[in-house]
Structure 1
């Protein structure tokens, strides 16, 4: 591990990263490369405790850049899902608008438009295995913490405690750390997705399985969308998106824990769609409704001396393909500010990081908010725009 004068701000400091997602694990890796003392406190019982979700694509100037800085590009290349970055776009009748599977495209990590996909669980494993032994403390769901002089005392739901000189919240938009940094609350975007998980799509919904073809499927009709992606374990994740009133999840009368109720609702809501999409709903073993919220784009707070946030805990925004990439870039920016030797105090380093982070998030957040309504409630014009966008970002042929 590298040590230098640049790390003097972190000398003899214990850092607690709360949250073991891509952002938190990336930050731990980058800080350990600089010789810092880090623990990651993760609520999951183990890395295998739950399905991490579908695939995620890493981008040239963010996620991939960070993997390179973390010395993990070879591990990433050994774990990513070749071909999963290809898109197939269909209409509500399952007629194909766009099909990248027909293109002969070579994976090119030097191409700024190449966005390789990796299973979220595989990405977590790549990052987790790069850390020093016992860095991650599993089964550590934060209950509360108290500042005593210059240190934080953390208490977890399992009854254990920990002490840290610096706390970094990487625990998502329901962050337990965020209230210690700011009281700014999230706003509703107007869109909600119903997420579904399918364990054996090849047999449970074979027509959809073939349509997805181990890549990204987007099906769009006026006012509603279905997107589907493969999981690294052979399963499938899908998202049924539309615009709904705020608090619709609680006022709809649907018991989302009862799959038959959700199935009946979706079949009715998508009644004029091709029935092959109904097989997707029927095969689902678990539904989760997700109202898409965001933190105000102009949010600001005064930097604290020994606590900060990264990822969704700092700048939640609607899904736009930037979430994991932005969290990883936050990790790189924060690690650099804490260890580059340019700042006289931790508070100054944190303030510099937060200024950069919030400015970047405001731009990406604006794009996400504008894009989510076109995605969740498309019109003929928004569908045309998406087709143009996908064609523009298409990797060049060899």
Structure 2
């Protein structure tokens, strides 16, 4: 393998860009291939809390921690819970004394922070990987939907839940959790809605239905209506009555103030939640590795982006500090897998517990 090796990162999300920035600053030749046409192609989802022992560690290694803390919303750590039936809101404050520092930042803002620190030509937009052809020796081949083909000595799969890099290493596919999020946005929340949610997040658990609301920058609210329903039942109901009617109709027994959150959303996007098996592993291959959702897709319980960015920094730092790229990747890969295996069982089980009567009682 040549030194420095030519490195391809598949996926231009927070994890892929974190790895790219650390590698770039370490003197490596790195190219990020991203399927989206630009960083502004679509909304990047809701707000993220970056933990001091993971996401912030990754940003420190990338030289961006101070820049992040300058723009992060520290007040966004506030958490509230709502009773689905009475509508009573309980302010939870900013966590118990001595709890972890987890300031918030919009996903799109975090991505832009990383993009701004990279050379403009690092990310190749509009490159959706369709196939990774592994080589026994020499360079791996990358084939993209736009007809472009490329080669790389090292391929880092940061390409999410349906990773094409993972597909080259394993036949394992993500499994449905039986829970679907419907994402809606409130661009200009009324005063009563803003007062109800507060500066951070509102969590409401009602058995097989839940609501999660996040304040984002510009005082926009991201609303997730979460339903535990069979996928084929959802298909039929959406075809029959439309998505908005399905979502709002699923909360008819909830308190009026909480239903107002759904009524205020302009539209909804369906986002089924999947997970890899808790014991997932892939076959090691020279010059190829996975990180983030490609390596350990799990339900959204608050650790995903932090784990992904820490993975990225571990892999990138290993390549920057160790002379043998192959052994560097293997060592970092072991850390990534061991850390995920310690978290995934609780993440998978805990997510399912959110959609039980016990969760409703606990939140009240």
> Are the aligned partners of 1:171 and 1:177 in contact in 2 as well (CA < 8 Å)?
yes
> Are the aligned partners of 1:201 and 1:209 in contact in 2 as well (CA < 8 Å)?
no
> Are the aligned partners of 1:315 and 1:361 in contact in 2 as well (CA < 8 Å)?
yes
* 3-state SS of paired residue (2:196): helix
1:13 is matched with: 5
Does structure 1 residue 94 correspond to structure 2 residue 78? no
Distance in 1 separating the partners of 2:139 and 2:147: 19
Q: CA deviation at 1:233?
A: 4.3
Encode CA deviations 1:176-225: one digit per residue, 9 max, x unaligned.
Answer: 21111111122222322222233x2325xx43233122310112223321
1:362 is matched with: 341
Any stretches of 5+ residues in structure 2 without a counterpart? none
* 3-state SS of paired residue (2:109): helix
Q: CA deviation at 1:147?
A: 4.0
2:104 is matched with: 117
Report the count of equivalent residues: 362
Residue number among 208, 212, 222 corresponding to 2:207 in the alignment: 222
Q: CA deviation at 1:117?
A: 0.5
Residue number among 43, 50, 63 corresponding to 2:42 in the alignment: 50
> Are the aligned partners of 2:182 and 2:247 in contact in 1 as well (CA < 8 Å)?
no
Give the alignment of 1:175-214 within 5 angstroms. Answer: 175-198=163-186, 200-203=187-190, 206-214=191-199
2:237 is matched with: 253
Distance in 1 separating the partners of 2:209 and 2:360: 11
Residue number among 288, 296, 308 corresponding to 2:269 in the alignment: 288
Give the alignment of 1:33-182 within 5 angstroms. Answer: 33-92=25-84, 93-100=86-93, 113-147=100-134, 149-182=137-170
Distance in 1 separating the partners of 2:195 and 2:363: 23
**C-alpha distance 65-248 of structure 1, shift in aligned 2 (>3 A):** farther
Distance in 1 separating the partners of 2:2 and 2:87: 56
Q: CA deviation at 1:270?
A: 1.1
Q: CA RMSD in A?
A: 2.5
1:238 is matched with: 223
Q: CA deviation at 1:10?
A: 6.6
Distance in 1 separating the partners of 2:224 and 2:198: 17
Encode CA deviations 1:101-127: one digit per residue, 9 max, x unaligned.
Answer: 8x999xxxxx65111010111100111
Any stretches of 5+ residues in structure 1 without a counterpart? 1-8, 106-110, 388-398
Distance in 2 separating the partners of 1:383 and 1:42: 40
Distance in 2 separating the partners of 1:307 and 1:209: 46
* 3-state SS of paired residue (1:349): helix
Does structure 1 residue 298 correspond to structure 2 residue 279? yes
> Are the aligned partners of 1:188 and 1:246 in contact in 2 as well (CA < 8 Å)?
no
1:22 is matched with: 14
Give the alignment of 1:311-390 within 5 angstroms. Answer: 311-341=292-322, 344=324, 346=326, 348-375=327-354, 377-379=355-357, 381-383=358-360, 385=362
Using structure 1 for the length normalisation, give the TM-score: 0.84
> Are the aligned partners of 1:81 and 1:119 in contact in 2 as well (CA < 8 Å)?
no
Q: CA deviation at 1:97?
A: 2.7
> Are the aligned partners of 1:90 and 1:219 in contact in 2 as well (CA < 8 Å)?
yes
> Are the aligned partners of 2:48 and 2:106 in contact in 1 as well (CA < 8 Å)?
yes
Distance in 1 separating the partners of 2:147 and 2:116: 27
* 3-state SS of paired residue (1:78): helix
Using structure 2 for the length normalisation, give the TM-score: 0.91
